[in-house]
Chain A
Amino acid sequence: KQEVTQIPAALSVPEGENLVLNCSFTDSAIYNLQWFRQDPGKGLTSLLLIQSSQREQTSGRLNASLDKSSGRSTLYIAASQPGDSATYLCAGPNSGNTPLVFGKGTRLSVIA
């Protein structure tokens, strides 16, 4: 059964810093991996989706990588802003029909 772990659980950085959030998974047969953002009391916003055949995806200041062999994914946020403060979740299904298995998230605070 797929298990997803996220490190660190919480992170506080000053505005402008580049940062990396880590995600690891136990089953390398992961179908794809999604990174989400969740603001307090809100639903999930999909940030990036990486297919199992891809190694990375980029969207604006965000870059996500996927290394299936090591069971790891990273989310890189460049030039962080206070508006980036949120909980970031990674998740992946084992196939195209199975549900996402979530990590516990990393709670990010960007201090102005």
Chain B
Amino acid sequence: GAVVSQHPSRVICKSGTSVKIECRSLDFQATTMFWYRQFPKQSLMLMATSNEGSKATYEQGVEKDKFLINHASLTLSTLTVTSAHPEDSSFYICSAREKMAGSGELFFGEGSRLTVL
């Protein structure tokens, strides 16, 4: 299957700093990428839909000024957690849908665990 890579896999930062997480589709072009957040022992909750070349669409309750999403190319989307606080500590996972695939199958990255001290 297609490969989606996330970086970094783990990051620890101080409260008030910003952290950028990258999501790359390695062997396919993705016009749409989705960002999810997962708290311990919970399911994945959609944060936003990222479309190449346009503004992201955020889910209700997700602050767009806090979680900045940029999808500048067909293979890269970034999520920046600005002014991070301990309550932002979570597991962030991106997924991508292949541009040319009619199946609609989504491929997921390995996730990025953010710990804010």
- Identify the A interface with B (CB < 8 A): 31-32, 34, 36, 41-46, 49, 51, 89, 91, 93, 95-97, 99-105
Contacts and interface: CB of A to CB of B under 8 A. Distances in A.
Interface of B: 1, 6, 32, 34, 42-44, 46, 49, 91, 93, 95, 97, 102-111, 113
Contacts of A31: 104
Contacts of B97: 97
B106 A34 contact: yes
27 contacts: A32-B104, A34-B106, A43-B109, A43-B110, A43-B111, A44-B93, A44-B95, A44-B108, A46-B1, A49-B103, A51-B103, A89-B43, A91-B44, A95-B104, A96-B104, A97-B97, A99-B49, A99-B95, A99-B106, A100-B34, A100-B44, A100-B95, A102-B43, A102-B44, A104-B42, A104-B43, A105-B43
A17 B43 CA distance: 26
Nearest to A96: B104
Contacts, number: 58
A8 to B, nearest CB: 15
Give the most central of B43, B103, B107, B113: most A CB within 10 Å: B43
A42 B110 contact: yes
The 10 A-B residue pairs whose C-beta atoms are closest, nearest first, are A43-B110, A44-B108, A43-B111, A96-B104, A104-B43, A99-B34, A102-B43, A102-B44, A49-B105, A99-B46
Nearest to A99: B34
B31 to A, nearest CB: 9
